[in-house]
Structure 1
Amino acid sequence: MKIILKVMVLIMLFFSNVINAKDIKINSLKELAKYAAESGNTITMKPGVYKLTDYLTKDITKARSIRKEYQYITFSGSNNVFNLDGVEIELDTEIRTWLKPPIHSDEVLVTGLHNTFIGLTIRCVGNGTSPGGTVLQVAGKSNVLRDITLHVAGSYPYGYGDLFGKGKQKETTVKHRKHSGLLVTGDETKLYGCKVLSRSFGHCFFIQQHPKNVYFENCYAEGEVRSTDEVLAETSGPAFDVNFKTWTQNRDGEYVVTPGYMKSLCEDGFRTYGTCENITFKNCTAKNTRGGFELRFNKAHVENCTTIGTERAYWIGDNTTMINCKGDANYGPLLFVEGSNVNVELMVDSAESDRKVHSLITVLGTDNKVVLKAADGKKRTQELPILVGYTPPMHGESMSPYSQAEVNKLHLINQTAMPVSIGEMASNCTIETNGKVIENKGQNNQILEK
């Protein structure tokens, strides 16, 4: 009887919300901010370009700074639908300079529940910088974002990626002011057809604070790349000022920018921090980002995803499943397996460049299965070794050396014709390969050459 009453109450609340919902037409950011704090409405905004500085003037922003009110717009209401198709918010990065926020202050914040956002574009303009903030954070539970596009800029220095460090690390040689794209911290967040086009040092999409059941479908992350040779040709600027000293050693043990490599100028396309329960990526693409899908220390489901021109494509941890994914090793390795109980099905694109790449994949851990296929049956001209029983390079940096690590009970099916190197700490593995085994220092490994 109690259960029936609860169900009836929920049904009544639902229909009450539907009946009381308002269809509201707006044409200003001031109105958008007003209804962002209310609940139970359908808000449709007139298409057009809206300058954030028309809403947050310099005087208003300075007053907000005094009140320690650092967000531009906060969507604290719940059960809303925001129809923002054709709406573009021009976000002048100079506003961050006026606000003087603490590090990691996000700019547009969603804290409400059960909201749907459709079609918004946010474009960063100007020469301001952020002390580590994010354009958009989704913190509330059960929010849905469809066809949201972020054009991100506003970091310092831009043009070097993580060559000189990433933030507070002691090894950092140039202090960064990062500006990232879209952060998810709320449970049950779902993103469909969203894009982050980054011209900033920071992540495109990333997940923090251990949210559950986060879902990405048809999402796209894009950065820019630049050769280390071009960096070394500079005769002034932050890299020149520190004599091109890097935070990670190269393969000769030196801490200096090394020619011959390609660097992404942003951070990762899709990134998780910590353990996030039930995270899914389906039909997503990362192009020219540092890491394509960096999902370390985390269980994830990755299906029909693609990487193009990344420094490192997929970096996965325990209990991750990859189905029908694809990527190239054009500028860096295709896969780092840093965990156990993974199941990988990965197509190797034959794209190549003149940049230095030192491996196709590295694998460590226990009870892993990795199937590598050649896209369209095409073999790469440049042979890249599959390293069994090896770690990723330090900080994932392509210029840095690899180390050996334990791998046990790996089942590797190599259909790429790429060579296989088996380290000293590899044991009880089954290697089926149509590429030659160039090194086998492990024990009790079964090699099946085809």
Structure 2
Amino acid sequence: MNNLKNRLVVGLILMTTALQAADIQVSSLADLAKYASESGNVVTLQAGIYPLTDYLTMDSMRIRHDRKQFQYINFSGNDNIFNLEGVEIIVDTELRIALNPPIHSDEFLIMGSNNSFAGLTIRCVGEDTSPGGTVLQVAGRGNVLKNITIYVSGSYPYGYGDLFGKGKASETVIRHQKHSGLLVTGSDTKLYQCKLYNRSFGHCFFVQKDAENVYFEDCYAEGEVRSTDDILAETSGPAFDADFRTWTQNRDGEYVVTSGYMKSLCEDGFRTYGQIKNIHFKNCTAKNTRAGFELRTNEGIRLENCKTIGTERAYWIGDDAIVKNCSGDANYGPLMFVEGSNVNVELTVDPAESDRLVHALVTIQGSNNKIVLKSQNGNKRTTALPILIGYTHPMHGESMSPFDEGETVGLKFRNETGMPIVIGAKARDCEIKTDGEVLENKGSQIKIVKR
């Protein structure tokens, strides 16, 4: 009901804006940039392919740098409708080198509020890099994005995921230059049918700076994966030069790339940072990303009908999260990490399997959690993966790293997957119904009912 109400409100705002707005037809990025800073218009850009270098030349980058104009286009106006169906902007990543922006600068920025964008494709070409930043940031309030597609490239090093660190100098074996996709920092942002194809080390969709009431529906995030065996076969390059030394220890206590695993080459499909309040995902999918949905905020996370495919870890949730009718596989890594309390989870296990090493189906810690794991249409995995109750995620979520034990109290858990259960010594006062074997129970006051 709240979603329907929100959509009606958005629709009324956009209808009112359209009735009052001037209808403007444009045929160049220069004209689009001009009206991006104005308000109260309906702007339609003629369908076509637009190389950004036709609007911003390499020679102009020094001038823009001196003026601190670090965005290619800044949509700073309010109450606009941008019709961009059939529009594709080609972004040569070499422009970023020429511009030399500060770290974490955005290339396209929506600073204004209550704008609507539909149909735009942004395609990065080339492998030149810049110091962090995203292709598109939505910073204003109440903006609506529909059918936006972004193809991301241009990071260093690419091809290893986070094996050699994530960016902090103190934790990094190889210094990264990230390039991410779409960042939301503005409250009341809504995204529908948005797609992001990431061939860069960086996030796909992510939310920061205490944004509230952010809604994703029918959105798709995709990375690509590579085996650690393939990485170890390199005879030159940054990993070889670093002697394949990692920033996270493996299960033998060594800091080295370990064979047998699969790594995503980007960061997370959908990610939150900080205390993001009231964020909702419906019918969204993450494929071949590091985490599918890493949502470790504690202020109202809801997922409905979401799906993960071939991620390093599928779902990672904190306090009060609601996960309903979602699914995912444990093909390359665990299906879920629960580190919060008062979660309510209903999750279906896709039985897809691979020859890659995976050490757990899920790990569960926290207090007063309600979790149901189901099999997909009665189809169960043939290779057993333990469900770890009273255990934490591995360090940094890295599959090669060992698990630790974590306080787990008042869990109500139903296992319909046929997978075995291991209960650690820090679990107590739990109720477990399972159709899988209990391999070990070190907990106290654990009620177990075989289904």
TM range (shorter): over 0.9
2:17/2:80 contact within 8 Å kept:
no
Match of 1:395 in 2: 396
**2-structure distance, mates of 1:126, 1:369:** 47
Seen in structure 2, the aligned counterparts of structure 1 residues 403 and 112 have a Cα distance that, compared at 3 Å, is same
Match of 2:346 in 1: 345
Match of 2:197 in 1: 197
Match of 1:10 in 2: none
Amino acid aligned to 1:312: R
Matched, 1:226 2:226: yes
Match of 1:5 in 2: none
**2-structure distance, mates of 1:171, 1:123:** 31
Matched, 1:431 2:432: yes
Q: In the TM superposition, what is the alpha-carbon distance from 1:62 to its structure 2 partner?
A: 1.2
Matched, 1:58 2:65: no
The aligned runs of 1:250-399 (5 Å cut-off) are 250-298=250-298, 299-399=300-400
Other structure's SS at 2:43 match: strand
Deviations 1:409-443 (A, max 9, x none): 00010000000000000000001000000000000
Q: In the TM superposition, what is the alpha-carbon distance from 1:21 to its structure 2 partner?
A: 1.3
Amino acid aligned to 1:187: S
Other structure's SS at 2:444 match: coil
The aligned runs of 1:55-204 (5 Å cut-off) are 55-204=55-204
Amino acid aligned to 1:340: S
**1-structure distance, mates of 2:20, 2:199:** 43
**1-structure distance, mates of 2:168, 2:185:** 22
**1-structure distance, mates of 2:248, 2:198:** 24
Deviations 1:133-171 (A, max 9, x none): 100000000000000000000100100000000001412
Seen in structure 2, the aligned counterparts of structure 1 residues 21 and 396 have a Cα distance that, compared at 3 Å, is same
Seen in structure 2, the aligned counterparts of structure 1 residues 340 and 80 have a Cα distance that, compared at 3 Å, is same
**2-structure distance, mates of 1:440, 1:314:** 25
Matched, 1:49 2:40: no
Other structure's SS at 2:171 match: coil
**2-structure distance, mates of 1:269, 1:244:** 26
Using the size of structure 2 for normalisation, the TM-score is: 0.96
Matched, 1:245 2:245: yes
Other structure's SS at 1:445 match: strand
Deviations 1:55-91 (A, max 9, x none): 1101211100111110100000011110000000000
Q: In the TM superposition, what is the alpha-carbon distance from 1:130 to its structure 2 partner?
A: 2.0
2:104/2:132 contact within 8 Å kept:
yes
> Which runs of no fewer than 5 residues in structure 1 stay unpaired?
1-12
Aligned length: 438
Seen in structure 2, the aligned counterparts of structure 1 residues 285 and 17 have a Cα distance that, compared at 3 Å, is closer
Match of 1:31 in 2: 31
Match of 2:9 in 1: none
Q: In the TM superposition, what is the alpha-carbon distance from 1:14 to its structure 2 partner?
A: 10
**2-structure distance, mates of 1:201, 1:316:** 22
Runs of 4 or more consecutive aligned structure 1 residues displaced over 3 Å after TM superposition: 13-20
Seen in structure 2, the aligned counterparts of structure 1 residues 16 and 222 have a Cα distance that, compared at 3 Å, is closer
Seen in structure 2, the aligned counterparts of structure 1 residues 449 and 94 have a Cα distance that, compared at 3 Å, is same
> Which runs of no fewer than 5 residues in structure 2 stay unpaired?
1-12
Using the size of structure 1 for normalisation, the TM-score is: 0.96
Amino acid aligned to 2:341: S
2:14/2:81 contact within 8 Å kept:
no
1:213/1:278 contact within 8 Å kept:
yes
Seen in structure 2, the aligned counterparts of structure 1 residues 139 and 417 have a Cα distance that, compared at 3 Å, is same
Amino acid aligned to 1:316: I
Seen in structure 2, the aligned counterparts of structure 1 residues 19 and 150 have a Cα distance that, compared at 3 Å, is closer
Alignment root-mean-square deviation, CA: 1.3
Amino acid aligned to 1:412: F
Q: In the TM superposition, what is the alpha-carbon distance from 1:208 to its structure 2 partner?
A: 0.3
Q: In the TM superposition, what is the alpha-carbon distance from 1:19 to its structure 2 partner?
A: 5.7
1:160/1:231 contact within 8 Å kept:
yes
Matched, 1:417 2:418: yes
2:158/2:200 contact within 8 Å kept:
yes
User: Which sits farther off after the overlay, 163-172 or 186-195?
Assistant: 163-172
**2-structure distance, mates of 1:15, 1:50:** 29
1:297/1:339 contact within 8 Å kept:
no
Amino acid aligned to 2:401: S
Amino acid aligned to 2:407: E
Other structure's SS at 1:35 match: helix
Seen in structure 2, the aligned counterparts of structure 1 residues 151 and 411 have a Cα distance that, compared at 3 Å, is same
Other structure's SS at 1:53 match: helix
Match of 1:212 in 2: 212
Q: In the TM superposition, what is the alpha-carbon distance from 1:117 to its structure 2 partner?
A: 0.2
2:52/2:89 contact within 8 Å kept:
yes
**2-structure distance, mates of 1:369, 1:209:** 29
Q: In the TM superposition, what is the alpha-carbon distance from 1:127 to its structure 2 partner?
A: 2.6
Deviations 1:86-145 (A, max 9, x none): 000000101110011111000100010110000000000023112111000000000000
Other structure's SS at 2:239 match: helix
**1-structure distance, mates of 2:362, 2:22:** 54
Amino acid aligned to 1:249: Q
Amino acid aligned to 1:81: I
